[in-house]
Amino acid sequence: MSSDILAVDPQAPSDDIGSAPTFFKEHGEFLELLEQVSQSAGNRASWSTDGSPSEERSALRSMACVLELYQEQPTCLDPYLERIVTRLMAVIQDYVSAYHSYATHRLDDSSDPVSIGRMSGIFDLLYTLCKVRGYKVIMRFFPHGVVDVEPVFGSLWLHSSQLAKSTWTARYILLIWLSLLAMIPFDIDSIDSGVSSLPALDAMAESNETSLVGKWIELGMFYLHRPACEMEGAAVMLSRLLSRKDTARILQPGFIEWAVDSINNATKGSQDVSARSSGLTVASVLKINGALRVLCHLFAAMDTVDALRPQMASLIELFQSDVFENHSVTRKLVTKATQRLAMLVLPPVSATSIARSHVRKSVRENLAPKDQTVPPGMSPDAPDNDSDEHGCEYGASDSAEISEEIELFIGVLLQKLQDKDTIVRWSAAKGIGRVSERLPLPLAQEIVGATAEILKEQTLTPSDGKPVDVSMTSEFAWHGSLLALAELSRKGLISPQALENIVPWVVRGLSYEIQRGDYSVGSNVRDAACYVMWAFARMPNPDSRRVFSKMCAQMSTALVSVAVFDREPNVRRAASAAFQEHVGRHSLFPHGISVLQVVDFFSVGNMRNAFVVASRKIAEFEEYREPLLHHLCTNTIYHWDAKTRELAAAALFELAPLAAEYVSERLLAEIVSNTVSPFLAVRHGAIIAAGVIAETLASHLLKDDKLTKMILSVTDGIPARYLEDFGASLTLGALTAFIGSLSRSGWSMPNSGAQQKYFDFFVQAFTTCREADDIVVNFEAFVDAYGVSAQQHNDIKADNTSRIIWTDAESAYSRLALALSVSDEGLRQKLFEGLVVTGSAMPLGRYAVSAVANYVETLSLPSTASDMHQEFDAEGGSGRSVDSIVAELTRLLLTDRRTSKLINPALIVTDQLIEQGSLYATSSEIFGAGDGDGDGDGAGAGSEDRIAEIDALLTETEWVRDDDRVKEARARLVSLVKAATALPSENANMV
């Protein structure tokens, strides 16, 4: 083997960093672009130009596009972050130093000028890195030497004084860089060389501050009033600057007083009702948000609450104010500041005590023999020094007195759990968990109880054992309460006694949904309930396992039902994740691994696969079969979304045969009773569900007369208004599906009038429904089983050669065309009009036209006018022919009382029939002047002109209701019909 084959190019890019693989696939190309950009931007000769060269801009755009691909997996960039950021920051560091020197000192006239916007592309790329990976991670690789403090500060000040020339990304990067430099372990006064020569900032009065710290705070306060990222960067910078040992004692109290005064001044004039209804101004909101942001960061960095004591009363009043009710971000910042202030007031002792107590108890149980609950030598009745009489573990320090301020803060957080915005509720939920963790466990248990009580507000508990009625509840309150319970359970603050009471309410939250018009609310509540279930599995308290062992059946079946039957993919996946967490940590759920292989993340992502395939596989396990059917028939089948109801019916088709007795004895009666529900979604779902059960369980149901009568009674109780009012198309579609199910499964007619009633339903469906594919399939089964009429059904069965094979929708419409030959004039006319209306709707219109055309081809086609006269004379004008179809189309076109509904569809159908040649020969006889040549190829020149005129009339006229052109076109068509000399008198009278 040649040695050069094994040679490895040391410069070749590798997919590995050391021995660890990397998943940053584009790293080779990215690093090449990085080197290209670094060399271009590091060229000092180009720093005088405003903006980057075109090649550099193109490379920067390509790099940004690559980085944005990793927003969902940002950790894939970690092996290369240091190399990327340090390379870019090296260029920025040189540029900032040069720009600061040029702009502030101007050493000599020969100094090369440095443009303020030269590095805008590099700053944009650094911001993209911060957006993808987070500024806290990116900041770790920023330069942080003492020599960088004044150049960065001076550059940021100069950028701030020229806002029109600089970019916001440049200012943001300089702000977070300065926040890192604010943590240098040296006295800031010792590195202050004087900043008195700096220009005044825009929109700020001339300041008397001359020290670096004073100017630094002034710069941060300037950016607190600016929107978005600059405000956040300034808040982080100020909080770190004011948390230093050399600035905290002197500057913190004054700054906090300024922040509180800024908020109070911005809210002045909004205390009365009229001003509050109009809301705060944009400038006031920016000032309030900036002050609140810096307070949040400052509270997190402070060690004691001493600097806050003078402002505590104002802060409490601010947190309880309702002047921010129209501003969600402000309410979120208020909530965040409340929880952080509460944590600052509380001693950080209980968290360690609680965590250690759970670990100690878990270790004791793990060390004990399998037949004992405590280690040898320890009495099971021995008292636990870490437990109270209720079984709650806490340390000796938990007896400390809790101030009244904490109660106020907790009250604010509990109120914010019911806020109308998700970001506020989520912040309040996290605050409840964090604050409760530092409280004595008895008080934490009270918070758990208060949070759980929110779920019970405005609920109704039926006496018949049905689920709790949540129709009057607030989805915001449920969502916030469930999020808080998840945070409390993750921290082990829910006792086993409380857990037994909470689990049923969480299970109820898994199916929470309230319909509001044509949509529903509650998907966020169900997602939060899945989060609580997931958090239950991660509870550090070992006593929780005993509770889960008793309630595992209820929890597992509820999670599986949501994982396969929920409409929202994120909820299905959340339920799957919660189920997986319990299986992995407790192994209490029956058939956990087997079920988990069916309801994995990808399987439940597809709605049809989850409903039909996954549910069928899980139902093979007896423990899940009846709960799945119960959830399907009491919840999903009545869903507000029609597509979901149809998928639920498909799932019921798969699951019902697995538990025939349970479905027929426990579920069928309620389904049949709901078929006459005044609510459209309930009625539609119940009818299609009854049809599915009748089809899949026909052999079982037909053995019981009571069940047979129950199924056949579905079509008897439908009020006529449900077939005419709003939603009639859904109801008729469900009824045709029900009849099709009966037809396919061999059900007999309950009485002689049932066949007529079923046919009427189909006629109304074809006239009303715009989408008729499913109706056609069901009509196929109906005709095959019962026929259009008894005589016709017998005739078709006797002569097998005349049967039409049902292969597709077009063939089905051919069968419909055959139905036009029924003897009942009323039924024939309704069906014909239904076909005509359907013929104007695409894409099904061509099938309706084909149906009429095929029917036309089956009728007698007279070759001459005399033959046609003889035919009608022999049959007394009652025969059916091509001419009668043309006459009926003409009658529909000329019917004034039905113009608004039928004139345009009839014209469209007639036009399409003429185009495909079905009416050509007949039209030449009817509308011609009797000058046909009798050879079957049409008529003379006169009739050809007439047909051309008809064709133009039907194709060139824009048919708009009540339009003058419609009236004119109708008049021209009337004149054409009156001029037809070949029509017999009987047919003319019909026209």
651: nearest Cα among 690, 597, 615? 615
Cα dist. 83→30, 57, 145, 182, 307 in Å?
A: 11, 20, 18, 24, 42
Is residue 969 over pLDDT 60? no
Is residue 941 over pLDDT 90? no
Give every CB contact of residue 473 below 8 A, 6+ residues apart in sequence. 457, 458, 459, 514
Rounded mean pLDDT, 653-660: 94
Number of CB atoms found within 10 A of residue 79's CB: 17
Number of CB atoms found within 10 A of residue 122's CB: 23
- H or E segment and range at residue 514: strand 514-516
Is residue 792 over pLDDT 50? no
Confidence class of residue 515 from pLDDT cuts 50, 70 and 90?
A: confident
Confidence class of residue 985 from pLDDT cuts 50, 70 and 90?
A: very low
Confidence class of residue 757 from pLDDT cuts 50, 70 and 90?
A: confident
**pLDDT confidence of residue 773:** 73
**pLDDT confidence of residue 468:** 86
Please give the share of the chain, as a percent, with pLDDT higher than 70: 67
**pLDDT confidence of residue 847:** 52
Rounded mean pLDDT, 770-778: 76
**pLDDT confidence of residue 357:** 56
For residue 952, give the 3-state DSSP assignment.
helix
Is residue 427 over pLDDT 80? yes
**pLDDT confidence of residue 545:** 87
Is residue 158 over pLDDT 50? yes
Is residue 774 over pLDDT 70? yes
693: nearest Cα among 732, 662, 736, 722? 662
Is residue 700 over pLDDT 50? yes
Cβ-contact 141, 85 below 8 angstroms:
yes
Is residue 988 over pLDDT 80? no
877 versus 695: the higher-pLDDT residue is: 695
**pLDDT confidence of residue 972:** 52
Rounded mean pLDDT, 808-815: 48
**pLDDT confidence of residue 944:** 53
**pLDDT confidence of residue 762:** 82
Rounded mean pLDDT, 276-285: 73
Spatial separation of the C-alpha atoms in residues 920 and 928, rounded to whole Å: 11
Cβ-contact 593, 548 below 8 angstroms:
no
**pLDDT confidence of residue 802:** 34
Is residue 842 over pLDDT 70? no
Spatial separation of the C-alpha atoms in residues 371 and 394, rounded to whole Å: 28
186 versus 954: the higher-pLDDT residue is: 186
Highest-scoring range by mean pLDDT, 467-471, 766-770, 939-943: 467-471
**pLDDT confidence of residue 807:** 37
Which of 162-166, 685-689, 746-750, 796-800 is least confident?
Answer: 796-800
Is residue 534 over pLDDT 60? yes
Give every CB contact of residue 897 below 8 A, 6+ residues apart in sequence. none
Is residue 813 over pLDDT 60? no
665 versus 363: the higher-pLDDT residue is: 665
For residue 333, give the 3-state DSSP assignment.
helix
Confidence class of residue 425 from pLDDT cuts 50, 70 and 90?
A: very high
254 versus 973: the higher-pLDDT residue is: 254
Q: At what angle do helices 882-893 and 904-915 cross, to 10 degrees?
A: 150
**pLDDT confidence of residue 115:** 86
Confidence class of residue 544 from pLDDT cuts 50, 70 and 90?
A: confident
Query: pLDDT tens digits, residue range 657-681?
Result: 999 999 999 999 999 999 999 999 9
**pLDDT confidence of residue 798:** 36
Give every CB contact of residue 224 below 8 A, 6+ residues apart in sequence. 231, 234, 235, 238, 287, 290, 291, 293, 294
Which of 290-304, 485-499, 828-842, 936-950 is least confident?
Answer: 936-950
Strand partners, 515: 520
205 versus 461: the higher-pLDDT residue is: 461
**pLDDT confidence of residue 579:** 96
Confidence class of residue 402 from pLDDT cuts 50, 70 and 90?
A: confident
State in Å, rounded, how far the first CA of the chain is from the last one: 96
Cα dist. 2→5, 6, 8, 475, 657 in Å?
A: 6, 8, 13, 72, 68
**pLDDT confidence of residue 329:** 92
Is residue 715 over pLDDT 50? yes
**Helix, strand, coil percentages in the chain from 3-state DSSP, rounded to 5:** 70, 0, 30
**pLDDT confidence of residue 856:** 53
Backbone angles phi, psi at 699, to 5 degrees: -65, -30
Amino acid (1-letter code) at residue 677: S
Confidence class of residue 764 from pLDDT cuts 50, 70 and 90?
A: confident
**pLDDT confidence of residue 881:** 43
Number of CB atoms found within 10 A of residue 570's CB: 14
Is residue 882 over pLDDT 70? no
Is residue 418 over pLDDT 60? yes
Highest-scoring range by mean pLDDT, 153-162, 566-575, 958-967: 566-575
**pLDDT confidence of residue 68:** 93
Confidence class of residue 206 from pLDDT cuts 50, 70 and 90?
A: low
Q: What is the mean pLDDT of the chain?
A: 77
Query: pLDDT tens digits, residue range 100-131?
Result: 887 766 544 445 678 888 899 999 999 999 99
Highest-scoring range by mean pLDDT, 386-390, 461-465, 648-652, 722-726: 648-652
Give every CB contact of residue 479 below 8 A, 6+ residues apart in sequence. 422, 425, 524, 525, 528
Rounded mean pLDDT, 713-724: 88
Rounded mean pLDDT, 271-291: 73
Is residue 951 over pLDDT 70? no
**pLDDT confidence of residue 428:** 96
Is residue 871 over pLDDT 80? no
**pLDDT confidence of residue 781:** 81
Spatial separation of the C-alpha atoms in residues 892 and 867, rounded to whole Å: 26
Strand partners, 521: 514
**pLDDT confidence of residue 979:** 45
CA angle 347-348-352, nearest 5°? 140
Query: pLDDT tens digits, residue range 35-58?
Result: 999 999 988 888 888 888 889 999
103 versus 391: the higher-pLDDT residue is: 103
Where residue 458 falls (left for φ over 0; alpha for ψ -120 to 50; beta otherwise) is: left
Cβ-contact 623, 553 below 8 angstroms:
yes
